[in-house]
């Protein structure tokens, strides 16, 4: 079942339920009013019947004639029965064919009751007079009232039926108007494939829910387009970076098969193969880490880490490498904790400090200190720097500045470090002047 049909049926059922309750209420009130009015007329007929039979000797001729005229004009179709009630036992025996025991008791107590005999409506009154006590019973069939009830029932049923049709039709039409923009959106979405991510949904005027949905959908498609394009570029660059060392290794092997070489030449060739293999392994390892960073945080082992201790460990590691004695660590005695994955954080900080040492022959300064808003790390070198025109590309995967071709590297490390630090709520900024040096700033803001 389509949404517009569901909407129309749902709202139609609600409206008709309310209408049905109203119509039933109207019908019941009308029936009650008709019955009460008819009962009032029967009481009047019973009273005027009693006056006609027992007041002739007490009224003048003009007053009595008026009673007779009223008697003849008021409900001439009724049947009357007068019972002498001087002897209650005899009166009760005569009343039993018409009334129940409770009705008889009520009649003697309340002086008037309402009754129904078969399909006849009736009224009975207890009428005391100077000639004795009497009970007058008047019965009649409310033909006009039943006709009005029957006609009213038909009118209400027809009203309900017509209302059902009109309500469903109007609601279905209104639902069609509401659903139409969604149908248009769906038709546009169906033509968007992985090759057509440049297509956007037409923007809607206004500030309703559909307009919000279209804007958010377009933003999502824009992010997907950027992601797909980045993925294509990444795959192309990764293929290129992996192909170069493989080509060098294959070329070296082919050369070694062409002729006999001296032992020293074989050793040099093997060294070159080992160098390219190591380079290939480094690229593969960095690509693996780069994809790991995109995993959900719930899949990482997060723990509270003290930044100063992590930096101490990393600098101690560098003291065991070729960069021994090159790093000056300056820090305060504050304690700043962050929630992060220990291994990934070490990879990010190592990459940044390694770059500073690699591209500078002078001392590298690592500063760590608490600020008013959080914590800050500065990694400062006086190396080759980054050309001004290329500094905005330094975080792109596989990008290497034009002045770094004489240095080993894959162009992945800085991008990997940035992604890891962003994952752990850090901000990284780079300031650099070519041939003067680079300052990498990493900041965390207070969480409370």
DSSP letter for each residue of 318-372 = HTTSTTTT-EEEEE-S---EEEEEHHHHHHHHHHHHHHHHHT-SS-EEEEEEE-S
Q: How many residues does the chain have?
A: 448
Residues 287 and 349 in one domain: no
Alpha carbons 178 and 150: distance in angstroms, whole number: 41
Look up the pTM and report it.
0.49
Contact 191, 50 (CB under 8 A): no
Residues 114 and 25 in one domain: yes
Q: What is the structure's pLDDT at 289?
A: 63
Alpha carbons 59 and 79: distance in angstroms, whole number: 25
Residues 134 and 220 in one domain: no
Residues 318 and 426 in one domain: yes
Residues 279 and 345 in one domain: no
Residues 62 and 23 in one domain: yes
Residues 278 and 320 in one domain: no
Residues 331 and 266 in one domain: no
pLDDT tens, position by position, for the chain (448 residues)?
Answer: 677 788 788 888 899 999 999 999 999 999 999 999 999 999 999 999 999 988 888 888 898 899 899 989 998 889 999 999 888 888 888 888 888 888 888 888 878 899 888 888 999 999 988 888 899 999 999 999 999 999 999 999 999 999 999 988 888 888 888 788 778 888 888 888 877 777 888 887 777 788 888 888 888 888 787 667 666 666 665 665 666 678 778 887 887 887 787 888 878 888 888 877 876 777 677 666 656 555 444 444 778 999 999 999 999 989 988 889 999 999 998 889 998 888 888 888 998 999 999 999 899 999 999 999 999 999 999 999 999 998 888 888 777 888 887 787 777 778 888 888 888 889 999 999 999 999 999 999 987 6
Alpha carbons 80 and 134: distance in angstroms, whole number: 13
Domain range enclosing 270 = 209-291
Q: What is the structure's pLDDT at 411?
A: 75
Q: What is the structure's pLDDT at 379?
A: 96
CATH number for the domain that contains residue 266? 1.10.287.130
Q: What is the structure's pLDDT at 161?
A: 92
Q: Do the domain assignments include residue 173?
A: no
Alpha carbons 413 and 241: distance in angstroms, whole number: 14
Phi, psi of 144 (to 5 degrees): -65, -40
Residues 432 and 303 in one domain: yes
**Number of domains the chain is built from:** 3
Q: Do the domain assignments include residue 164?
A: no
Mutual orientation of helices 342-358 and 263-293 as an angle, nearest 10°? Answer: 130
Alpha carbons 54 and 130: distance in angstroms, whole number: 9
* Token pair belonging to 58: 């007490």
Q: What is the structure's pLDDT at 230?
A: 62
Contact 345, 366 (CB under 8 A): no
Q: Do the domain assignments include residue 195?
A: no
Q: Do the domain assignments include residue 422?
A: yes
Q: What is the structure's pLDDT at 56?
A: 84
Q: Do the domain assignments include residue 343?
A: yes
Q: Which of 132, 149, 166 is the last residue of a domain?
A: 149
Alpha carbons 119 and 365: distance in angstroms, whole number: 111
Please name the residue that has the structure tokens 């009013």.
33
* Token pair belonging to 24: 């039933």
* Token pair belonging to 39: 């009962």
Residues 305 and 437 in one domain: yes
Q: What is the structure's pLDDT at 288?
A: 67
Residues 80 and 51 in one domain: yes
């Amino acid at each position: 079942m389509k949404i517009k049909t569901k909407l129309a049926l749902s709202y139609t059922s609600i409206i008709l339920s309310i209408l049905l309750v109203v119509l039933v209420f109207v019908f019941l009130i009308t029936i009650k009013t008709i019955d009460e009015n008819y009962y009032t007329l029967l009481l009047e007929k019973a009273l005027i019947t009693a006056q006609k039979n027992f007041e002739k000797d007490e009224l003048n001729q003009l007053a009595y004639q008026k009673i007779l005229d009223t008697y003849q004009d008021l409900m001439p179709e009724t049947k009357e029965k007068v019972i002498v009630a001087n002897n209650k036992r005899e009166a009760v025996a005569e009343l039993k064919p018409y009334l129940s025991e409770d009705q008889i008791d009520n009649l003697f107590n309340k002086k008037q009751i309402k009754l129904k005999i078969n399909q006849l409506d009736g009224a009975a009154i207890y009428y005391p007079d100077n000639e004795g006590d009497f009970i007058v019973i008047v019965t009649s069939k409310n033909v006009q009232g039943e006709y009005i009830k029957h006609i009213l029932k038909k009118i209400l049923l027809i009203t309900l039926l017509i209302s059902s049709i009109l309500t469903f039709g109007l609601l279905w039409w209104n639902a069609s108007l509401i659903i139409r923009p969604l149908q248009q959106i769906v038709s546009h979405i169906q033509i968007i494939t992985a090759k057509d991510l440049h297509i956007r949904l037409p923007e809607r005027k206004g500030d309703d829910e559909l307009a919000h949905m279209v804007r958010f959908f377009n933003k999502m498609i824009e992010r997907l387009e950027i992601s797909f394009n980045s993925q294509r570029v990444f795959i192309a660059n990764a293929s290129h970076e992996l192909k170069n060392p493989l080509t060098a290794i294959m070329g070296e092997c082919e050369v070694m098969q062409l002729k006999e070489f001296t032992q020293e030449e074989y050793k040099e060739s093997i060294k070159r193969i080992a160098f390219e293999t190591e380079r290939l392994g480094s690229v593969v390892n960095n690509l693996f880490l780069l994809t790991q960073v995109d995993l959900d945080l719930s899949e990482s082992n997060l723990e509270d880490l003290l930044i100063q201790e992590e930096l101490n460990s990393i600098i101690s590691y560098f003291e065991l490498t070729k960069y021994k004695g090159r790093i000056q660590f300056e820090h305060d005695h504050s304690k700043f904790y962050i929630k992060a994955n220990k291994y990934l954080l070490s990879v990010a900080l190592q990459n940044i400090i390694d770059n500073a040492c690699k591209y500078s022959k002078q001392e590298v300064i690592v500063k760590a200190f608490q600020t008013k808003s959080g914590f800050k790390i500065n990694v400062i070198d006086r190396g080759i720097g980054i050309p001004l025109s290329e500094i905005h590309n330094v975080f792109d995967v596989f990008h290497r500045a034009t002045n770094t071709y004489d240095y080993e590297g894959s162009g992945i490390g800085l991008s990997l470090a940035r992604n890891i630090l962003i994952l752990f709520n850090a901000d990284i900024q780079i300031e650099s002047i070519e041939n003067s040096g680079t300052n990498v700033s990493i900041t965390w803001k207070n969480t409370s």
